[in-house]
Structure 1
Amino acid sequence: MRYIKLRDLEVSRIGLGAMGMSHGYTDSGTDEAESIRTLHRALELGVTLIDTAEIYGPYTNEELLARALKGRREQVVLATKFGLVAHSGAGPGNLDSSPANIRTAVEGSLKRLGTDHIDLYYQHRVDPNTPIEETAGAVGELIAQGKVRAFGLSEAGPDTIRRAHAVQPVTAVQSEYSLWTRGIEDRILPVLRELGIGLVPFAPLGHGFLTGQIRSTDGFKEGDFRHGNPRFTGENFQRNLALADEVQAVAAEAGATPAQIALAWLLAQGEDIAPIPGTKRVHRVEENTAADSVQLTAEQLSRLSSLPPAAGETHNEAGRQMLER
């Protein structure tokens, strides 16, 4: 495993998103023992960047990580997120990045994670009711207190990133970025590189679509992120299968899996990018981390970069309203 810097924070070139172990997919939360084995195997393979959030569960994903990382905390750059749980009463799924809510959120996350500090603390979604300067200042106070090491944003737009960074340097921005979600390339990536901020792509495998394993949506139950998602429904789904087939073709040529090709393409976009593919299975974390050694030719990179955009929006209407991209 190679390592890169997100500003001053050294992380593994490929991280691990823990959300699906507890939240968001049809079989989330059904096999804690396998999830813990997956986390342990990731550490053995050199993965250091582990990503969670208080909303995952809610709360149960942080608690799972605490059990898995007991006695291994020093091996991990631990990232979690605030702002999608309003602790004053509105509860999970409600935006609140006010300083008071952040102070409550961090204490809960520290307790659930069983640690005295969070390495990378992200605002999960931009809160239109709280000036980003106030949010950044509150996280800056947590950094001064030693409870947080670095400040991050998720799915923030260019203006928000600049304003936050002027108050408290932003270490990383987490946004959806993959072969089928490339909207950040024109507006976000140039700002990050101008300011020296790292990029942490989530859903780098298109919520599993780019693995080539999803050929039907029949198995997605209510509560699965993909159930009713525009890209996984009707004509959009059928059109997007052609994208997965193209990735599969490059994989066959390169002697790799489609997931490894999708990740290798992302890694080729810059040395300031650390994707966090999510999985709860040991064999998948082994497959994903091996993508670091896949070398794509210039022609293969060009073919992949020339693929048409995915059909359909990345989120349903409620989810889209929380994106600033």
Structure 2
Amino acid sequence: MNTQPAIGISGCLTGSAVRFDGGHKRMSFVMDGLAQWVTFKPVCPEMAIGLPVPRPALRLVQATTGDINMRFSHAPHDDVTQKMAEFTASYLPQLGNLSGFIVCAKSPSCGMERVRLYDEKGNRGRKEGIGLFTGVLLEKYPWLPVEEDGRLHDPILRENFVERVFALHELNILRANGLTRRALLDFHSRYKLQLLAHHQAGYREIGPFVASLHEWDDLDAFFIVYREKLMALLKKLASRKNHTNVLMHIQGYFRNQLTSRQRGELRDVILHYRDGLLPILAPLTLLKHYLAEYPDQYLLTQNYFSPYPENLCLRMTVN
């Protein structure tokens, strides 16, 4: 398996001139930052069904029956819904090993949310549609991290997406190497602090499920259920409060090694993070320093400290 996560992406976001007007929507973070750490699998569904560049604009039309169709804006009776459905049905089964997908916002084929709907008379409706390609993608792969370009400008959503991409990539490698009970248990153990930062109640709920692993004869069946549970938990945004609780928990591992002054300084840094005065990078850097000085076998295994390549600098902001 590729040692880098494979990410699907709407072709226009890579800088390819595939949009209906002959332009593109190149994302600098994606192509200048993330690109060195992942392998992109670009696709333009509209070109894939045979449409040219440039081409007439498409829109989503909601029929009186409630069905959503894709039609040309200038020729509302020219329908390409079936072509898009056929392409999607043939293309998506090839994506089982992807670790994420970045789609183009507002697109009638790729938009993830709030795509404008029109009625059959051409009247503008609400922004509550989903692109036809992305809608099926979300349904077929509910565990897959999917984000659209606009939302990735939000630093919190950006970090969450990248974190999930690398978690799913590790899961994909685990499966490709051959599932064992020990490997599954070790994986979950490495993610304990990370899950606590995302959702404490969810962490407590998934624990008994993992503990039941010995009852499963079919490890792949267990993996499929576990993958969906894990990715759903990681999709919940980690809160400052939960991060603070995790940082305080980690601090406790050094209570016998640090002086009272060092413990006080560490506590102050964590509380300054809690109060929004410092980015999470500050307490994490200090904790990693103490971990190097006073190694703890459990903490050394925790993915929480490095859930993705540090060069992406996603923890530089206050979050």
TM-score (norm: length of structure 2)? 0.25
Which has the larger helix fraction?
A: 2
